[in-house]
Amino acid sequence: MAKQPNPARRSQRSRQAILTAARELVSEVGYAKLTIEAIATRAGVGKQTIYRWWPSKGAVVLDAFLALSESGPDQDMALPDTGDLKADLRVVMRATVAEFADPAFEGPIRALNTEIINDPALAAQYREKLAGPVDEAKKARLRSAQRAGQLPPDADLDLALELLYGPFYQRWLLRSGPLTPQYADALVDAFLKAMRPDIGGSAH
Amino acid sequence: MAKQPNPARRSQRSRQAILTAARELVSEVGYAKLTIEAIATRAGVGKQTIYRWWPSKGAVVLDAFLALSESGPDQDMALPDTGDLKADLRVVMRATVAEFADPAFEGPIRALNTEIINDPALAAQYREKLAGPVDEAKKARLRSAQRAGQLPPDADLDLALELLYGPFYQRWLLRSGPLTPQYADALVDAFLKAMRPDIGGSAH
């Protein structure tokens, strides 16, 4: 009798096949039409194998995205820090805007966002596992700017991230305007102005 | 034989009953579990009556919201204009934030947004019939501020609205922070700073 393959290794292979299938299918058919059955067929496993590891379709899709971000080294999350805050943020926002203008990239993330918007438990997982660490990396760059005297030391960094990314998030989700490099630059410029300390002379 | 009721009036009554049922049910059970059948039952009409007027569940729900905003006079959309831009925007943003912090109010709008995010055709209808006119009313207030010299004459008003509402939209959709009067005020302050003309001295 032939030696059995290592069960842990086989398990790991199945897990990877499921996550890859979920990612491919959510891009191909969209989240609404994605089924656990289709993921199982594409991955070459039984439906029960998927349900043993994940409670829901949303949980599989979230882990499929997490597996993507885990594939690179941790430093991937860090923002560039050349000392020039404006230039660094333009690089980051131009790259972000370009990614979300690409249907192949943004499709699965749109699907995931739809679930997160409607499922507070999935939203909490998403914040803990993905959005939280990414936001920390962004705040690390803003803190560096604070130490360099380029942002006020008492700036609310949660609000700061919302000011920079919120307008873009809305435009992307609602498809309400073009996602261009010029738009990325305009967001960075507006953000830096909004973050300037109030030097008297209110705007009203 | 008794005289038939006026068919146009009966039709109008059915239409109102359907829209009211759709609004009630989307709040009670959420958009995902809402069915045309349940709307028909609640409204006391046949499913075919609904399908005669609307192609989809999303279309009924959108019209249910439109009917709400049509019930008041046009001036309801106008923003306050006391001449004090900061004070007026604080009133508007505090009211907006309070509305979206109320589960009964925000539930149906969250459901509608989910559909809009995933259905470009519904998004176009929503922009044309609801978001567009509302944005025009907001821009009218900003144009008044431009005439009063409180905002730069060349300001991009589409970007301006995104700067003011985008951060709030993101926080609301992702439930990523508290929706408080203080938050509303912080958004207005950041917006007014972002809109100031660039008077030399870049922020980097």
A-facing residues of B in 177-196 (CB < 8 A) are: 177, 186, 189-196
pLDDT at A170 over 50: yes
Comparing CB atoms, the residue among A84, A120, A196 nearest residue B193 is A196
For residue A73, the model assigns a pLDDT of 44
Min Cα–Cα distance to chain B from A117, Å: 6
A167 and B168: CB-CB below 8 Å?
no
At residue B55, what are phi and psi to the nearest 5 degrees?
-80, -20
Q: Mention every residue, 6+ apart, whose C-beta is less than 8 A from residue B108.
A: B23, B26, B27, B31, B61, B64, B65
For residue A91, the distance in angstroms to the closest alpha carbon of chain B comes to 14
Measure CB to CB from residue A196 to each of B169, B176, B203 and give the nearest one: B203
- B107 and chain A: CB distance < 8 Å anywhere? no
CB of A52 within 8 Å of any CB in chain B?
no
Of B32, B127, B190, which has the smallest distance from its Cβ to A194's Cβ? B190
On chain A, the residues whose CB falls within 8 A of the CB of B196 are 193, 203
Mean pLDDT over the full length of chain B: 87
Cβ-contact B139, B57 below 8 angstroms: no
Q: How far apart are CA A95 and CA B167, in angstroms?
A: 20
pLDDT in tens, B145-178: 999 999 999 999 999 999 999 999 999 999 999 9
- For this complex, say whether ipTM is above 0.90: no
Task: Report CA dihedral (A67, A69, A75, A77) to the nearest 10 degrees.
Answer: -150
Q: Is the pLDDT of residue B3 over 70?
A: no
Chain A contact set for B127 (CB, 8 A): 174, 176
Residue B69's pLDDT is what?
63
CB-count exposure of residue A182 (10 Å: 0-12, 13-18, 19+): exposed
What digits encode the pLDDT tens for the residues B107-150? 778 888 888 898 888 888 888 888 999 999 999 999 999 999 99
Residue A16 vs residues A11, A43, A45, A190: alpha-carbon distances, Å:
9, 9, 11, 42
For chain B, domains (ranges, CATH) are 7-61 (1.10.10.60), 74-195 (1.10.357.10)
- Report how far residue B190's alpha carbon sits from residue B195's, in angstroms, rounded to the nearest whole number: 9
Q: Can you give the pLDDT at residue A26?
A: 82
